Homo-oligomer: A and B are copies of this chain.
């Protein structure tokens, strides 16, 4: 049967999608979600079928990509045939049945994900299976390698490439923007890709974007890293882990974080820039992702095992996540903190500074840039000598410098309702206030913390100041902050 093509002027993003009338599909013994082969005189393509109850039964609707690839035109005729399902769907079913997957099977699944040959439903089955049955260390390492193999890679000639990663959940924890210039100032190569915020008030990419362009393409980034030692860019702009991005799309609706996928996702980003010396930071605290030492130790062991399987030297540090780090939370306020630390300014947040020194010390010793026990001194020197700040200015210049805006003049102070000592600052509540104030879309939006845990406060003293570009959002945020203070004072 020959069908007459109609164009649907919507780009689907790589996927080839065709639509048939329900009855036409039934005649071909086809269901929505089946793969079909479409032929005209010019071309043959493999597409995904959708069906609709009302359209002309002798027509076939083609979304932009399918229309273009077929070079379809008015008066054309299209032949439809059923296509085989990719074999990877069988492997997904094996995983659903609790069978551990081989490297070859995992790679087949990942390849099909990247080539858009698996539907959302099929990918969701894969995520479910990995979530419920888990992925063992070997599967996780294989998944990591497959994600890297089926995405872009950055290849450097250097023997040592360093990277770091924080599991997240602590607002204001912008160590990357200090650690990268410190380590590159020490002569190490550190090509750093970071994420944008999903649920936090700012990702490293959002904060870095206040100072410099973070959407440079791979060739430019290679050049920058080879010239000045490193960069800090948005990973999403480089497509290093295409499979991972597609899996995240189906993980999003239920916010699923299958442990093996989380590990593979992190390690793939390191592996794809060639990192072989890696530091993972796991903050623990009641109000961050990892709430207790047992969980943290479990994750630590898994990271170390998988790194070993991948041939990486790795260290995992378990850090304090009981309050935000630094004083600023939100893109601009965090960027200001970072610059203060790099410039050795008097009012630089000491917790952020000390944490960075600690992280850098570990990586200096891991890479043998520093002798055992000498990392801390060397790290301090890199920061306090101004070498790191100099390097950061080079990185910013190479990536494309931006003019830092002034802090918003629209703000509201949240004051202590009683005197006492700050016992705890609720990370998620602070994040929420910043989000309501507009962060990270509004780079001005966020919070500056005047008091941290351990500080004594008097009733009426300022605990934190909320900034926003919008008077209305500021009102919402301050209302929220007043109703549900993030501070525990005793």
Contact = CB atoms under 8 A, between A and B. Distances in A.
Interface of A: 8, 10-13, 19, 27, 29, 31-33, 52-55, 61, 64, 85, 89, 92-93, 96, 98, 119-122, 124-125, 128-129, 131-133, 249-250, 252-256, 441
A12, A129, A253 interface centre (most CB from chain B within 10 Å): A253
Contacts of A256: 93, 96, 125
Contacts of A122: 253-254
Contacts of A129: 128, 132
24 contacts: A10-B19, A10-B52, A11-B53, A13-B53, A27-B441, A31-B252, A33-B252, A33-B253, A54-B64, A85-B253, A96-B128, A96-B131, A96-B132, A96-B256, A98-B132, A119-B253, A121-B250, A121-B253, A122-B253, A122-B254, A124-B124, A128-B128, A128-B129, A128-B132
A249 B129 CA distance: 19
Contacts of A128: 96, 124-125, 128-129, 132
A470 to B, nearest CB: 14
Contacts of A19: 10
Given A8-B10, A125-B253, 14 more contacts: A10-B55, A11-B53, A11-B54, A32-B249, A33-B252, A33-B253, A89-B253, A93-B255, A93-B256, A96-B131, A122-B254, A124-B124, A125-B254, A132-B132
Contacts of A89: 253-254
Contacts of A54: 11, 64
Contacts of A133: 132
A199 to B, nearest CB: 10
Nearest to A89: B254
Nearest to A31: B252
B254 A92 contact: yes
Q: Enumerate the 6 nearest inter-chain pairs by beta-carbon distance, A residue then B residue, closest first.
A: A128-B128, A124-B124, A11-B54, A132-B132, A11-B52, A121-B124
B132 A52 contact: no
Nearest to A120: B121
A80 to B, nearest CB: 15
Contacts of A53: 11, 13
A55 B255 CA distance: 28
Contact of A61 (B10, B27, B252): B10
A64 B52 CA distance: 11
Contacts of A31: 249, 252
A52 B64 CA distance: 11
A206 to B, nearest CB: 12
A163 B11 CA distance: 49
A329 B168 CA distance: 62
Given A8-B8, A52-B10, A441 B254 contact: no
A284 B68 CA distance: 51
Contacts of A27: 441
A100 to B, nearest CB: 15
Nearest to A33: B253
A32 B12 CA distance: 11
Contacts of A255: 93
A33 B29 CA distance: 28
Nearest to A118: B253
A33 B121 contact: no
Contacts of A250: 121
Nearest to A93: B254
Contacts of A119: 253
Nearest to A199: B29
